[in-house]
Amino acid sequence: GAVVSQHPSWVICKSGTSVKIECRSLDFQATTMFWYRQFPKQSLMLMATSNEGSKATYEQGVEKDKFLINHASLTLSTLTVTSAHPEDSSFYICSARGPRGLAGKTDEQFFGPGTRLTVL
């Protein structure tokens, strides 16, 4: 099946620093990637949708200047949490959706394993 990886799997940083999280589709081209975050005991919340080569579309209430998303290639999207603060500590998860014709798996989203961010 299609595989999505995330790096790093966990990160601890000091308040005020920026953290970059990578999301890669390993065996398919992802025309669309999604970024979610999940706080303890809550459901995933969609942050933004990004299509390769274009600007990301952010959900209401998500600060685009704080959460920078780059989707420069069909296999890589990055999320940068700028000037991170303790309230940004969360589980960040990406997903990727491929183009039609992907061996019958045209509409599923494939999720990465997540990145746990802790801001001290």
Contact 108, 94 (CB under 8 A): no
Q: Which of 56, 95, 98, 117 binds other proteins (CB under 8 A)?
A: 95
Site for other proteins in 32-61 (CB under 8 A): 32, 34, 36, 43-46, 49
Question: Does 11 participate in binding other proteins (rule CB under 8 A)?
Answer: no
Shortest distance (Å) from residue 78 CB to other proteins: 17
Least Cα distance to 91 among 38, 46, 41, 40 occurs for: 38
Is residue 99 reached through a cis peptide bond, with omega within 30 degrees of 0 on the bond before it?
no
37 close to 44: Cβ distance less than 8 angstroms: yes
Report the residue number, 11 or 82, with the smaller CB distance to other proteins.
Answer: 11
Residues within the interface to other proteins (CB under 8 A)? 4, 6, 32, 34, 36, 43-46, 49, 91, 93, 95, 100, 106-114
